[in-house]
Structure 1
Amino acid sequence: MSEPFKTYYFEDLSVGMRESLMKTVMNEDVVGFAELSGDHNPIHLSEHFAKKTRFGERIAHGLYTASLISAVLGMYLPGPGAVYLHQTLNFKGPVKIGDVVTISVEVTELVEKGRRCKLHCEATVDGKVVLDGEATVMVPSRESAQPKAAAAS
């Protein structure tokens, strides 16, 4: 993404529209997410502890990876003004420190009543799906975004 954000109104959306974001998971991201969330599980923070787990090394919080979906929805598709209503998440594999995660979302359904947009969401590492699910967001209409005409004086 070269642009700081994109804004789509409900009327601009169509089934099949896609957007994606790539992010390298850094130690600082995992430590920061632990601070924000209060989840200090040593599988995320302690190399010594994580070595003894089935993953053999530290892994990022699942909800950290899911939060990257929020970044795509809120900044690129549909973009600013979109409001989360629902999200399903299926965790399918670990994300490790240093992994490059690709988050992709695709519009799968548009419901005019309430300006609802459903999107398939997926996170991959090296082409392998590590998380998927479906999001439903409410999207502003072009009409609601127009400034109201000033009253005649």
Structure 2
Amino acid sequence: MLTRRFLLGAMAAVLIAPAATAQEVPVYYEADGAALAGYDPVSYFRSDAPVLGLPEYAVVWKGAEWHFASDENREAFERDPRAFAPQFGGYCAYAMANGTLVGTDPMAWQVVDGRLYLTHSPEIEEMWREATAEYIRMAEAHWPVVLYEQ
């Protein structure tokens, strides 16, 4: 059941979204260089919904520009960026479970066990939530392979 549903969902993700092109660094970002489309990564953990960051509170990490809503959030990120950065470089966690790099919607997200996971769209996020633990396991197995194939 999981395999059939997963394959159908993964095919839908690939069909409805252009594949993200691999960049020189393992972080998905917009054409302007902003990770998370400018949303504050710390806000995913400290608010009910992500908050747009401001360029004046930006830092560059892993080749992407990360924006923050406050100096306090920027400092928290600078102390431990891996605690706040999305898993799989911000690529769609659901697609990564199938070994594919697909861009994400910063409003389609979930924090699981203190880690931020993004998906391509709210529709993909719904499928992701049906078997999150299994998808995480599959994505973690694919991530190093996909990352180093690029």
In terms of fraction of residues, the more strand-rich structure is: 1
TM over 0.5: no
Shorter-chain TM-score range: under 0.3
Q: TM-score normalised to the size of structure 1?
A: 0.27
Instruction: Return the structure number with greater relative CO, CA threshold 8 A, min gap 6.
Output: 1
In terms of fraction of residues, the more helix-rich structure is: 2
Instruction: Name which one, 1 or 2, has greater alpha-carbon Rg.
Output: 1
